[in-house]
Structure 1
Amino acid sequence: MTALQFPCTIFQTQNRMDDYSAKDMRCGDLSESQLKTHFHLLDVSTRANPYTLTKITPFTQPQSAFHGSRGEGEKITRQQCANILFDEFRDLSRLFSIYGPYKRLIEKMITHMQYGNGKPFTSMHLDGALKEHILNDRTENSTLSKIKNALIENIDWTNNTYPTDNKGKLRGAILDGKLPKFDRFQDNINGMGITVHDTWATHIILKSLHISNDSYRAVVHYKAQDHFGLDVEDIARLKFNVFRFFRIWFVLQRCNTFAFKPFMTNMEATVEITGNRNDSKK
């Protein structure tokens, strides 16, 4: 029986990596009329009007008692307006990122959207967050736990190998678990829920597997990717549309006046696991 060769990709999501055709990766494809009519994006910013390219003051705020008494606000360039919107975008992000080592990540990602021209984003903090999530997931649906059990059950302990014919059982075990996602309660306020939340694509690679004396030691590599972008379904949801943060984001990305490019968020983590032939399932 043929032994599995390493490194070996044991799992890939149906969604592919670097999918720039995804709906949330579009930019500059909507007009002012569409944004106002279809998505009701009339009140976007408290500081600048992205449609008239004017500054907003207390006298030009629609809800102000002084509205209209001083005419339109000061005219500004498209670039000046974008800069004002991005500053407000960053300021509002603090509502979703209150504490912990990842609290500044969202501001860095917003700045990357402003100046990165769609280049992929990586961060040691993102990699650290992914690794922490994988190692600290103690639930029965943990993919790491599923991999451990699948190795114990399917290793050829007589010959100290993992048979190629059993490769599919590793994938099946992972499918039965829950991939790392930042949708836990703490992610709502630690910055990870707003920066990543879900992931678009995930690859899991078994980099090495050493078996001896009824024990194994394996090195598993996770590669996950998310899109820092919004699609029309996102902004149509009340929980998104109600927040000025998302209204500004959507306009900066999708309005043909601005068309700032969304980008891929890349995360990687390598973990080591050990186990014994006689370990009971956990």
Structure 2
Amino acid sequence: MKKYFLLMIISIFAAVLAACGNGGSEEAATTEDSEESAETSETAENEEAEEAGGTISIAASPAPHAEILEEAATILEEEGIELDIAIVNDYTTPNRLLADEEVDANYFQHTPYLETEKESHGYDITSAGNVHIEPMAVYSQDYESLEDLPDGSTILVSNNPAEEGRFLSFFVDAGLIEIEEGIEIQNATFDDITENPKNFEFNNQTAPELLVSMYENNEAPAVIINSNFALDGGLNPVEDSIVVEDGESPYANLVAVRTGDEDREDIQRLVEVLQGDEIKQFIEDNYEGAVIPVQ
């Protein structure tokens, strides 16, 4: 009887040990599963952060484009997106850099210029969105209006063929020249001039970045300068010019990317920030009408 009771105790004790052993194994397994789940979740979160963040390399003119991008960079940095801004002070390099995949985007040009570049070079580039208008202006050291320019005056303009109609629009609006009927002014060229009673000569042999110094040296009665180069050279298009474009200009500056990249989340976020209220306020506060945010 005692022997039987002892065997029962031993059996119960063994069962308790077995139960404890199984519970420990199950607990260990549960802990391991939890750790693996946490690691998987953390990995997924990191991957999502990398997809949402990362670096956008972008080529831009120094002013106002790079200045605007620097302001946008402080906003994007909080979201894990870094802007790597390459300053380029000419109109031919940024699209080549973009086409050659040396940068992810550029910010310096408007649609007519982009279309001309695509046609000339075969670039597969598209707009990701408009950001601002830089009203072009006419500057003169000696005259206070276009009407004051004497007969035979030379007007210095850039060698950008995409903007010939833009140059001419100042004189068409002032009633000083006429262009061929049926041609929209933004598509007009110097060859489309039909009436030029004051015999103005439009000299388009100069790179746009050199026009500020030519104006300062008083090398012609009038010089038409893009606002980014004017601002970079210390000129204010609103205060220093004899006539300036208004906010209705169709030449909005844009962010360009390789076709297909406009769907990238980081590119879309960049454009959203550049079109957002904070950047609009920055533009209005810092450029006082010399740069106009898109509406």
TM-score, normalization by structure 1: 0.24
The structure that is helix-richer by fraction is: 2
Which structure has the greater CA radius of gyration? 2
